Amino acid sequence: EDKVVQSPLSLVVHEGDTVTLNCSYEVTNFRSLLWYKQEKKAPTFLFMLTSSGIEKKSGRLSSILDKKELFSILNITATQTGDSAVYLCAVRGGSEKLVFGKGTKLTVNP
């Protein structure tokens, strides 16, 4: 059974801090790993990773995948209060269905 485990489940930081969110997975016929940001409603797409060692960046957010060790990290530098959200990690295997982790709830205090 495909599985995604995220850690920590909850994190509280101050503005300006740098955070690292972790995602480990077990999946049959791995195809891709995706990160989403979920505020009050729908998850919004951040990154899709398919190859090890290639960092994806978007502004202050970056992510990298390690297919050998079966994990990914999401980094957020110089955090802002607007970064407060639940960050979801999901993997897609051979079935093309996404399997989600429980998410990391990030709270950025001013």
**Residues of this chain that bind other proteins (CB under 8 A):** 4, 31-32, 34, 36, 41-45, 48, 88, 90, 96-103, 105
73 touches 6 (CB < 8 A): no
What b/e sequence results for 1-39 when a residue is b if at least 16 CB atoms lie within 10 Å of its CB, and e otherwise?
ebebebeeeebebeeeeebebebbbebeebebbbbbbee
Q: How far is the CB of 100 from other proteins (least distance, A)?
A: 4
Closer to other proteins by CB, 19 or 47: give it: 47
Closest to other proteins by CB, 17 vs 30, is 30
**Cα-Cα end-to-end distance for the chain:** 41
Q: How far is the CB of 22 from other proteins (least distance, A)?
A: 15
Tell me the sheet residues that pair with 98.
Answer: 92
Nearer to other proteins, 88 or 106 (CB): 88
CB 34 to other proteins: min, Å: 5
